[in-house]
Amino acid sequence: MNAPINVPMTTPVTAPMTAPMNAVINPYKEVYLDVADRIGRNLCRDAVWDGARCNWLGWSMEAVNQNWVPAYRSFAGDLYGGTSGIALFLAELHQFSGDKQQKRILEGALNQALSLSDKMQGPARSGFYSGSSGFAYVLVRIGTLLKNEALIARGLREMASLKEHVPDAMFIDVIGGSAGAIPAMLKLGLEHQRPDFIAMAQSHGDYLLTHASKSDAGWSWETMHVPGQKHLTGHSHGVAGIVTALLELYRATEEKRYLDGANEGLRYERGLFSAQHNNWPDLRIMDASQTDAPPVYNMAWCHGAPGIGLSRLRNVALMPDDAMLMQELNAAIQTTASSLMPAWVHGISNFSLCHGACGNAELMIMAGQYLKRPDLTQIAEKIGQEGWQHYGQSDMPWPCGVAGTGETPNLMLGTAGIGHFYLRLYNPEAVPSVLIVTPPEKVGS
């Protein structure tokens, strides 16, 4: 059994809740931090304790008879919908607030995740959002924020435990498989001088290359295993996320096979782009009786232009000589911006990261930051201001990502993720995105 984490309760040494000096020109900066802090305090209030561990009750999606249905339950330990994701948000918040209660709660949430870490087994164990590679990332990130070397070491051990895990064809996408594990392995491997992690990432990359479906249209991957369903586009479950993982491997290793695989994946996804919709189709079969229905063009991090845009934004940095990448990025930005701008007129029904306004606005934050486009940043800020006016300042329940239900506290579907979005608005340099993992440059570059 894993021992509880003992984080010393020292007097906070962080600054009081004031905006960074380079951000004081924006009067809303303090509002963004206040909204995040309100969400953090509500999470502290609602935590349910058992000894040194805490958890929450909330809505999540569960697979029942091959359908996804809402379930009200306590949480597992994963990043996507579990206690480690909530702990990550509270740790990012704590670097600005110095709040002892937030630190105590994140410690309890990590202890809960550690107590469940042996359940992160099976074929999806390597997943970033569902498994141990994401949990390792969380442990190292929180250990870094808290200057807790023991926590960092625990995270590195968690990642090292994946050496014996064999990649599985059922789980190869960003959410639960190799494409999500690769960037996390590279990030920790490069930052902590762990060549064994680089080798693990290569093992997953080679598995992706071996299991690609190769055709005249390019390379694609079976990620959801639904009879009759075409191979998906998109970041979380589709080709875009796999392409980015392969390009990260090429940057880290200079092994050309990863570049070749990425180019073939891009060729497949480009063949499905719709100029009419300025978007890529969501090819999931949602109703087995309607396999011939025309494709839909969703607008979410998980499916559609916002998530593909994040992938392409990273691809531009990894493969700057491909002019089509910038064209595709601009298309994704335009389509995502156009979908967000009516939101503050007609209202926002879902603020979640996975498939809500906050996740879509992340593309505006990152593109605004890296392309030096303040007009895009302003779109994301407008989403934040709308949330503050309607929910943040009045403590009304936030519209979350489980349709037909109420507020839920987890990261990718709920308020922890919404709070993380507000921290990104407050200080994107200090708070990394959780929607795409960006490893550092390769050693020696």
In a domain, 437, yes or no: no
pLDDT for residue 88 is more than 60:
yes
In a domain, 301, yes or no: yes
Mean pLDDT of 146-174: 95
Identify the bridge partners of residue 279 per DSSP, sorted by sequence position.
Answer: 274
Q: How confident is the model at residue 26 (pLDDT cuts 50, 70, 90)?
A: confident
Inter-residue contact 265 to 219 (CB < 8 Å): yes
Instruction: Please report the pLDDT score of residue 291 as a whole number.
Output: 64
Q: How confident is the model at residue 25 (pLDDT cuts 50, 70, 90)?
A: low
Domain coverage including residue 126: 34-426
In a domain, 73, yes or no: yes
Q: How confident is the model at residue 305 (pLDDT cuts 50, 70, 90)?
A: very high
The residue that leads in pLDDT, 228 or 28, is: 28
Of all residues in the chain, what percent carry a pLDDT higher than 90?
A: 79
The residue that leads in pLDDT, 42 or 64, is: 42
pLDDT for residue 51 is more than 50:
yes
Cα–Cα dist 404/409, whole Å:
16
pLDDT for residue 328 is more than 70:
yes
pLDDT for residue 290 is more than 60:
yes
- CB-count exposure of residue 166 (10 Å: 0-12, 13-18, 19+): exposed
Mean pLDDT of the chain: 91
Q: What is the CA radius of gyration of the chain?
A: 21
Instruction: Please report the pLDDT score of residue 141 as a whole number.
Output: 99
Instruction: Please report the pLDDT score of residue 344 as a whole number.
Output: 64
Mean pLDDT of 254-263: 99
pLDDT for residue 443 is more than 50:
no
Q: How confident is the model at residue 61 (pLDDT cuts 50, 70, 90)?
A: confident
Record the tokens describing residue 181, joined without a space: 């594990």
In a domain, 3, yes or no: no
The region, left, alpha or beta by phi > 0 then psi within -120 to 50, assigned to residue 193 is left
Instruction: Please report the pLDDT score of residue 435 as a whole number.
Output: 98
SS3 50: strand
* Contacting residues for 245 by C-beta, under 8 A, at least 6 apart: 174, 178, 179, 180, 182, 183, 204, 205, 208
Record the tokens describing residue 167, joined without a space: 């990649």
In a domain, 207, yes or no: yes
pLDDT for residue 254 is more than 70:
yes
Instruction: Please report the pLDDT score of residue 399 as a whole number.
Output: 96
The region, left, alpha or beta by phi > 0 then psi within -120 to 50, assigned to residue 347 is left
Q: Choose the weakest-confidence range: 16-30, 176-190, 226-240, 243-257.
A: 16-30
Cα–Cα dist 204/257, whole Å:
13
Mean pLDDT of 380-394: 94
pLDDT for residue 16 is more than 60:
no
In a domain, 409, yes or no: yes
pLDDT for residue 174 is more than 70:
yes
Phi, psi dihedrals of residue 374, rounded to the nearest 5°: -60, -25
pLDDT for residue 326 is more than 50:
yes
Inter-residue contact 423 to 33 (CB < 8 Å): yes
SS3 22: helix
Number of domains the chain is built from: 1
Cα–Cα dist 176/9, whole Å:
35
Mean pLDDT of 156-168: 93
In a domain, 24, yes or no: no
Q: Say which residue the tokens 């940043």 belong to.
A: 377
Q: How confident is the model at residue 29 (pLDDT cuts 50, 70, 90)?
A: very high
Q: What is the CATH number of the domain that holds 301?
A: 1.50.10.10
In a domain, 398, yes or no: yes
Identify the bridge partners of residue 53 per DSSP, sorted by sequence position.
Answer: 50
Inter-residue contact 141 to 88 (CB < 8 Å): yes
Instruction: Please report the pLDDT score of residue 444 as a whole number.
Output: 39
The closest of 118, 249, 275, 117 to 182, measured between CA atoms, is 249
State pLDDT tens for residues 330-351.
Answer: 999 999 999 998 766 567 899 9
